[in-house]
Amino acid sequence: MSILKESFNIKGNDFIHAGEAAIRVKNLLKSLNISPDVIRRIAICGYEGEMNVVMHGEGGVLDFEIDDEKVVLDISDKGPGIEDIDLAMQKGFSTASDEDREMGFGAGMGLPNMEKNADRIIVESGNEKGTRVRMFFNITGKEEKD
Ligand SMILES: Nc1ncnc2c1ncn2[C@@H]1O[C@H](COP(=O)(O)OP(=O)(O)OP(=O)(O)O)[C@@H](O)[C@H]1O
Ligand SMILES: [Mg+2]
């Protein structure tokens, strides 16, 4: 079983470089033989997760891992944490600032989109613990989500 791992730093509130980790993950997947639909779903999840770390998480890390069966995105930060995870997972819930909204963010669709596009998502968060979002994608072509 072959495993490839890459780690990308994400800077908090840096909207110039925001999104670059997700683009690098996407380019990496394109260089491997992964189906376009799976790449699309991973790119969406990577981008939304990265933007949450930029906007809400004060910076963090995106860890990418691929083996023969799956891709794992492990996105973590040491920011303020999510107060109510169930609420944050709902469409439309957002604590984005006016500034974030002026840039077009804050629809409260990031986490719902990640949940929809990942085969499995685990969100862990707590006060002073930061936030960790892990997303799993099956790349075997079997048991793919609709
Ligand atoms: N890494 C994080 N650290 C702290 N809070 C977070 C983090 N990620 C999400 N949240 C909280 O969960 C809420 C919902 O996140 P979600 O990505 O769904 O929406 P959004 O980021 O506010 O808007 P959008 O993603 O549509 O631009 C955020 O507004 C924020 O309160
Ligand atoms: Mg978001």
pLDDT at residue 33, as a whole number: 85
Ligand 1 site, residue 113, Cβ cutoff 6 A: no
CB-CB neighbours of 95 under 10 Å: 14
Atom of ligand 1 nearest to the CA of 79: 3
Atom of ligand 1 nearest to the CA of 48: 25
pLDDT at residue 128, as a whole number: 81
Kindly report the backbone phi and psi dihedral angles of residue 101, in degrees, each rounded to the nearest multiple of 5, phi listed first.
-70, -35
Ligand 1 site, residue 61, Cβ cutoff 6 A: no
Q: Supply the pTM of this predicted model.
A: 0.95
Among candidates 116, 34, 142, 126, which has minimal Cα distance to 80?
126
* Nearest ligand by distance to the CA of 95: 1
Ligand 1 site, residue 89, Cβ cutoff 6 A: no
Among candidates 119, 23, 24, 9, which has minimal Cα distance to 71?
119
Atom of ligand 1 nearest to the CA of 130: 3
Q: What is the pLDDT along the chain (146 residues), one digit of tens a residue?
A: 689 999 999 999 999 999 999 999 999 999 998 999 999 999 999 999 999 999 999 999 999 999 999 999 999 999 999 999 999 999 999 999 999 999 999 999 999 999 999 999 999 999 888 999 999 999 997 655 55
CB-CB neighbours of 14 under 10 Å: 11
